[in-house]
Amino acid sequence: MVQISRMDDALIEVPRGLTNVAVVDTAISDVHGREGYYQYREHSATALARGATLEQVWFLFLHGRLPTADEEAAFVAELAALRAEVDVEALVEQLAGGSARLDAVHALKAAWPLVASGRGMRPVYDLDEQERRRDALLLTAMVPGFLATLSRRQRRLPPLASPKDHGTVAGYLTQVTGAEPTPEAEHALTAYLIAVMDHGLNASTFTARVITSTGADVASALTGALGSLSGPLHGGAPSRVLDSLDQIPSPEAIEPWISAELAAGRRLMGFGHAVYRTADPRSQLLRAEAQALGGPRVDLALRFEATAERLLEAAKPGRGLHANVEFYASIVMERVGIARELFTPTFALARAIGWSAHILEQAADSKIFRPAARYIGPPVSDD
């Protein structure tokens, strides 16, 4: 806990990292870390992940309620029309040029401002509610096609359009893998994308809201949020879980490997969470999806999780270090055919929907974020 001096010289106490400090009101989502659940609007987030479509939850985020069947069909058609407005092949070529490898997160961070500039998108401060919604929806809707086109280009595969009768998830999987997804694969990826669409005021969502509070354009807020997400302590860790599993040749090697990592003081990627002190409900959800997909990697992951949690409790009793969402997210994405370099971008695909909802909610409030800082430097010198 630190003391921070405000402009009126009053003192307030603020924990390191702003842990548990409420800095904004929202009707979008809430996380209950002690109880081990979280919600989107008035719905259980994990229940939605198990049974809703991505478009239904996307609509919920934007409109505050689930759509009727007709509204969902109209929303799907609106998304398709907006995607058609962005020539992602030309955009990828403009960004990649002659480069054989271009990191997808960096590419998306560059793509959003380019699209916004080309379309003359203005600051949210100067837009009405419908104009803000359109900008947010177009920039979010373009993400799956952009990521898939970039991935196929890097693998020297021809462009592959998403079938018009596919939803967002099936279309993305078809483009990325080059094959029609099985119902199990589509369900598993849908569950993952919905589960990570939003999660309270995490670092990237806070970044999006701070930028929006200045009245900046939607692309600036999304780009800043993505920069925050790319950090390994936030959204950049799913592929690192597989890097760990790659080092384990057999189930018998799990315990010695984990013990050595803990003895060396290294962090186990995919374990522990800043909010949850009980099991991460997203991890439980995705564990079930992974088990439904099956395979040797899933069996290894299940044994790894059980062993890791036992050894972590012995090494750090009472800390409540359980598998987090990134652990089984990596397994699910690998099993449905998503390349490892697309793990964090795919996370961003989902989280951009949540960011957009927060951007629109924040844009309705004209108050800029202006916190104080605690000065710890030397006093003014009279010399």
**What is the enclosing helix (H) or strand (E) of 135?**
helix 129-141
Give which of 118, 151, 150, 115 is closest to 136, Cα–Cα: 115
Tokens of 257: 């490997």
How far apart are alpha carbons 90 and 326 in whole angstroms? 33
How far apart are alpha carbons 266 and 210 in whole angstroms? 33
Are the C-beta atoms of residues 335 and 293 closer than 8 Å to each other? yes
Active-site residue, 273 included: yes
Catalytic position from the list 55, 186, 326, 334: 326
Catalytic position from the list 234, 273, 322, 358: 273
CB-based contacts of 104, cutoff 8 Å, min separation 6: 147, 150, 151, 341, 342, 344, 345
**For the stretch 138-151, what's the b/e string if a residue is b when 16 or more beta carbons lie within 10 angstroms of its beta carbon?**
bbbbbbbbbbbbbb
Lateral strand order in the sheet of 37-40: 29-32, 37-40, 43-44
Name residue 58's amino acid.
W
How far apart are alpha carbons 171 and 181 in whole angstroms? 9
Active-site residue, 166 included: no
Residues annotated as catalytic (active site), given as ranges: 273, 326
